[in-house]
């Protein structure tokens, strides 16, 4: 056993970049997936919105930890080699897609129906209606909850520690196993998460206030 030193503090602080990298990966991948889910969910065709709804219900109705385990243990079943990056990335992206898909579906539906009717009256194609009329207005409503959801993504990345991905939480665990100073280590780890999440929470709340003021 060695004692907790400044070197350990530094390695914990540096581990923040893996947490941030995971979160960005989940956000970018999840945004693409979420947009597809949101569009499918608000489509007319039953063959589109049915599966999208099912996807959302399944991912919102099961624990993220179980989703991680299923993907982690499921890859070898498919004959693929497990790589923590891949397993963590796929699980987080699928999970984020479901949640963002649901949030954005709400935003698309919040655009007044008259806008869609006007687009029909102007003989816009479905693509043009979405691209030029509905989505730009939905985007405005979508920003505050999406920023708020980024906090959930960052907190969610901590679970990848359990399948062995060495990010912030796992680094804290490893150093705790070597130095056995849980109080300063986990306080520092918690503080670092707080530094990542708190500004986003604040920002999201401010955006929300501004949006509700502009809608009034």
Partner 1 sequence: MVYHFQFGVVLQSWPLLLDGVLKTIELSMGAMVIGLLIAVFCSWGKSNGPRALHWAIDAYIEAIRNTPFLIQLFFFYFALPSLGLQMSATTAALVTMFVNLGAFATEILRAGVEAVPKGQVEAGLALNLKRYQVFLYIVLRPALKTIFPALSSQFILLMLTSSIVSTISADDLASVAANIQSETFRSFEIYIVVTAIYFLLSLSFMGLFKLAWKRFLYFPEGR
Q: Does 203 bind partner 1 (CB under 8 A)?
A: no
Member of 95, 96, 97, 169 binding partner 1 (CB under 8 A): 169
Tokens of 197: 């999440």
CA-closest candidate to residue 56, choices 28, 25, 95, 109 = 95
Site mask for partner 1 (CB under 8 A), range 34-73, x = bound: ------------------------x--xxxxxxx-xx--x
Tokens of 139: 């985007």
The verdict on 171 binding partner 1 (CB under 8 A) reads: no
User: x/- contact string, 5-34, with partner 1 (CB under 8 A)?
Assistant: ------------------------------
Q: Is 14 helix (H, G, I), strand (E, B) or coil?
A: helix
Give how far the C-alpha of residue 102 lies from the chain's centroid of Cα atoms, to the nearest Å. 12
Nearer to partner 1, 130 or 165 (CB): 165
What is the C-alpha to C-alpha distance for residues 163 and 15, in angstroms, rounded to an integer? 16
What is the rounded distance in angstroms from the CA atom of residue 171 to the CA atom of residue 157?
Answer: 13
Q: Is residue 146 at the binding interface for partner 1, with CB under 8 A as the rule?
A: no
The 71-90 contact track toward partner 1, x by CB under 8 A, reads --xx-xxxx-----------
Q: Which stretch binds partner 1 (CB under 8 A): 34-42, 118-126, 150-158, 207-215?
A: 150-158
Residue 65, both tokens: 């930890």
What φ, ψ does residue 108 adopt, rounded to 5°? -65, -40
- Which of residues 183 and 213 has its CB atom nearest to partner 1 in the complex? 183
- Rounded Cα gap, residues 120 and 118, in angstroms: 5
Torsion of CA 195, 196, 199, 205, to 10 degrees: -130
Q: Which 8-state DSSP code applies to residue 122? A: T
Is residue 156 a contact point for partner 1 (CB under 8 A)?
A: yes
Q: Which of 137, 166, 173, 179 binds partner 1 (CB under 8 A)?
A: 173
Which is closer to partner 1, CB of 26 or CB of 159?
159
* Interacting residues with partner 1 (CB under 8 A): 58, 61-67, 69-70, 73-74, 76-79, 151, 154-156, 158-159, 161-162, 169, 172-173, 176, 181-183, 185-187, 189-190, 193-194, 197-198, 201
């Amino acid at each position: 056993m060695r004692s907790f030193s400044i070197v350990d503090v530094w390695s914990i602080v540096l581990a923040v970049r893996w947490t941030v990298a995971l979160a960005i990966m989940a956000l970018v991948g999840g945004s693409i997936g979420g947009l597809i889910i949101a569009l499918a969910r608000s489509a007319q065709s039953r063959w589109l919105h049915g599966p999208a709804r099912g996807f959302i219900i399944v991912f919102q109705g099961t624990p993220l930890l179980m989703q991680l385990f299923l993907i982690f243990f499921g890859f070898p079943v498919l004959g693929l080699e497990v790589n923590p990056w891949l397993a963590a990335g796929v699980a987080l992206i699928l999970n984020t897609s479901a949640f963002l898909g649901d949030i954005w579906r709400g935003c698309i539906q919040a655009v007044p129906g008259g806008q869609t009717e006007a687009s029909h009256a102007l003989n816009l194609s479905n693509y043009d209606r979405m691209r030029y009329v509905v989505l730009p207005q939905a985007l405005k409503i979508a920003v505050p909850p999406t920023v708020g959801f980024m906090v959930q993504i960052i907190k969610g990345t901590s679970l990848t520690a359990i399948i062995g991905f060495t990010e912030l939480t796992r680094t804290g665990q490893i150093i705790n196993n070597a130095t056995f100073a849980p109080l300063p280590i986990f306080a520092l780890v918690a503080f670092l998460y707080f530094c990542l999440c708190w500004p986003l929470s604040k920002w999201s709340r401010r955006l929300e206030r501004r949006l509700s003021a502009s809608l009034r």
